[in-house]
Amino acid sequence: MTDSTDAADIARLAEEARESVVRLCSQLVAAPSVNPPGDTRRVAGVVLDFLRAHGIAGEEQALLPEMPSVVAVLDSGRPGRHLVLNVHLDTMPPGDEAAWTHPVWELTRSGGRLQGLGMGNMKGAVAAMLHAVALLDRRRDAWSGRITFTAVSDEVVFGDHGAAHLLATRPDLAADGLLCGEGPGFRRLAVGEKGVLWLALEAVGDPGHSSSVRRGRSATARIAAAVTAVDALTGTRGRFDGELAGLVVADEDTALTLTANVGTLTGGSFVGQVATSARAEVDLRLPPGISADAAQALVEGAVARAVPDGGVTVTRMKGWDPNVTLPDSPIAESWSAAWSALEPSPLELAVRLPASDASRWRRLGTPSLCYGPQPTYSAGIDDYAEEDEVVRCIALYALTALRFLGDRQDGGSTR
């Protein structure tokens, strides 16, 4: 069991690693890994170099050579739980680099902030988790079971070449618990995240000269009516029910609201001709209480009412349900104990609005949590993380792991 002495010791070790963390963040930011295209070769090399410098064997695994992920396994040699520590290596694009007030590809340390592309999402968490792994490796006598560290590619676009590939080829990565460095912002712990549903809406129309068009019968008129109806679904409320009834999260209105974004819209071929085809792609983010099937039924119903002649079809491109880890699961209780030992402030729970790789593990039955130094909901221009928060994450990850792996010695599964 983790006591206050352990917490003070871990916090001290995390603080002693501060300059090492800043150096590693600098190396990570200087290794571009924007997705798309998603090339993670340079940043994976930085991760492997750190692991080797600390005597930890890491290996690259890749479906595409330019998108490697890194995996490292620490085994205590004693039976116990299996914990996965997960981060991703790719970043969002910087957008308009001229709008940045500090360098995009170079770490700036100023005013308590570590600034540079990916620091919030999520190279700050990569640096913190690597230092936690090194700390836990030095303290193998304090825990039982196994730790697997995964630093994956292709997460930003939720592609198939990172965590999806690892889980498809490494059944040993199913675990008793997972900590993901994908923070929900505002120093909150994400116990779950919204589901995702991508749909394609395709409309058809009768060909003809524009002078012969009939109201609402061209493909573009039909797709316009359909996407207007889908857009109106934003604001549909979900709910916490069943085992989740009574769950309290920050920003509950946002967490329990469905959003429907019309991401692309194309149609027609020439202004003087009736459009015979049109297409829209929509992205729905699903709160707890609204499954992917239920959301698709909502869209199909809205489209049928908006275009009653059947001129628009709805096809699923990708989708999965919202997923939540119970706050009384062993991994969540271990985090709460670590937080209480390190933090004077109360722990706030959240449901992440975007997706993360934690949802892939939850679908395998692995209770999973998300926490990282990302300061707000999402990264953007002038991406940054608070330096103190990156250091604090080392202690939180390590202390949670010690609690989770140290309070059970019989090797039984807790899933």
Q: Provide the pLDDT for residue 3.
A: 58
Residue with tokens 């790789």: 357
Contact 73, 62 (CB under 8 A): no
Average pLDDT over residues 77-98: 96
Average pLDDT over residues 344-368: 94
Note if the bond before 122 is cis, omega within 30 degrees: yes
H or E element that contains 18: helix 18-29
| 285 found inside a domain | yes
Q: What percent of the chain shows pLDDT beyond 70?
A: 97
| 14 found inside a domain | yes
| 413 found inside a domain | no
- One domain, residues 111 and 203: no
For 136-187, what is each residue's pLDDT tens digit? 999 999 999 999 999 999 999 989 999 999 999 999 999 999 999 999 999 9
Domain-terminating residue out of 266, 297, 320? 320
Closest CA to 398 of 122, 14, 87, 127: 14
Q: Provide the pLDDT for residue 407.
A: 59
The yes-or-no verdict on residue 411 having pLDDT over 90 is no
Domain-terminating residue out of 288, 320, 352? 320
- Residues 312 and 278: their CA atoms lie apart, in Å, by 9
- For the chain, helix (H) and strand (E) counts, in that order, are 11, 16
Query: For residue 378, which amino acid is it?
Result: S
Per-range mean pLDDT, top range of 3-12, 98-107, 402-411: 98-107
- One domain, residues 146 and 293: no
CA distances from residue 201 to 223, 227, 279, 280 in whole angstroms, order as listed: 7, 8, 6, 5
CA distances from residue 230 to 95, 210, 221, 254, 283 in whole angstroms, order as listed: 28, 27, 14, 18, 10
| 310 found inside a domain | yes
CA distances from residue 241 to 247, 256, 331, 340 in whole angstroms, order as listed: 9, 12, 21, 28
- Residue 407 class from Cβ within 10 Å (0-12 exposed, 13-18 middle, 19+ buried)? middle
Count the helix, strand and coil residues of the chain and give each as a percent rounded to the nearest 5: 35, 25, 40
Q: Provide the pLDDT for residue 415.
A: 38
Q: Provide the pLDDT for residue 140.
A: 95
Average pLDDT over residues 211-233: 97
- Residues 318 and 199: their CA atoms lie apart, in Å, by 7
Task: Look up the CATH number of the domain holding residue 64.
Answer: 3.40.630.10
The yes-or-no verdict on residue 335 having pLDDT over 80 is yes
- One domain, residues 162 and 220: no
Average pLDDT over residues 203-217: 95
Token digits for 13?
């070790």
The DSSP bridge partners found for residue 259 are 285
Q: Provide the pLDDT for residue 377.
A: 76
- One domain, residues 149 and 219: no
- One domain, residues 10 and 58: yes
Sequence-distant (≥ 6) Cβ neighbours of residue 396 within 8 angstroms: 335, 338, 339, 342, 371
- One domain, residues 291 and 205: yes
Residue 29 has φ and ψ, to the nearest 5°, of -65, -35
If one counts every other C-beta atom within 10 angstroms of the C-beta of residue 44, the result is: 24
- One domain, residues 61 and 202: no
If one counts every other C-beta atom within 10 angstroms of the C-beta of residue 28, the result is: 27
Closest CA to 74 of 130, 14, 116: 130
Task: Look up the CATH number of the domain holding residue 201.
Answer: 3.30.70.360
Contact 84, 152 (CB under 8 A): no
Sequence-distant (≥ 6) Cβ neighbours of residue 23 within 8 angstroms: none
The yes-or-no verdict on residue 408 having pLDDT over 90 is no
- One domain, residues 205 and 347: no
Contact 401, 147 (CB under 8 A): yes
Angle at 294 between CA 371 and CA 161, to 5 degrees: 45
Q: Provide the pLDDT for residue 158.
A: 87
User: What DSSP designation does 308 have?
Assistant: T
| 414 found inside a domain | no
The yes-or-no verdict on residue 354 having pLDDT over 90 is no
The yes-or-no verdict on residue 414 having pLDDT over 50 is no
- One domain, residues 38 and 167: yes
The yes-or-no verdict on residue 412 having pLDDT over 60 is no
* Average pLDDT over all residues of the chain: 94
Domain-terminating residue out of 320, 340, 364? 320
The yes-or-no verdict on residue 192 having pLDDT over 90 is yes
Indicate the pLDDT class of residue 337, thresholds 50, 70 and 90: very high
CA distances from residue 135 to 182, 204, 402 in whole angstroms, order as listed: 20, 60, 11
Q: Provide the pLDDT for residue 5.
A: 61
Report the sign of the C-alpha dihedral through residues 266, 269, 270, 274, in that order: negative
- Residue 146, Ramachandran bin (φ over 0: left; ψ between -120 and 50: alpha; else beta): beta
Indicate the pLDDT class of residue 324, thresholds 50, 70 and 90: very high
354: domain range? Answer: 4-193+323-406
- One domain, residues 186 and 202: no
| 261 found inside a domain | yes
Query: How many structural domains comprise the chain?
Result: 2
- One domain, residues 266 and 294: yes
- One domain, residues 55 and 188: yes
Where b means 16+ CB within 10 Å and e means fewer, 217-234 reads bbbbbbbbbbbebbeebe
Please report, in angstroms and rounded to a whole number, the separation of the first and last CA atoms in the chain: 20
| 249 found inside a domain | yes
For 243-277, what is each residue's pLDDT tens digit? 999 999 999 999 999 999 999 999 999 999 999 99
Indicate the pLDDT class of residue 410, thresholds 50, 70 and 90: very low
| 312 found inside a domain | yes
The yes-or-no verdict on residue 21 having pLDDT over 80 is yes
Q: Provide the pLDDT for residue 363.
A: 93
- Residues 269 and 395: their CA atoms lie apart, in Å, by 58
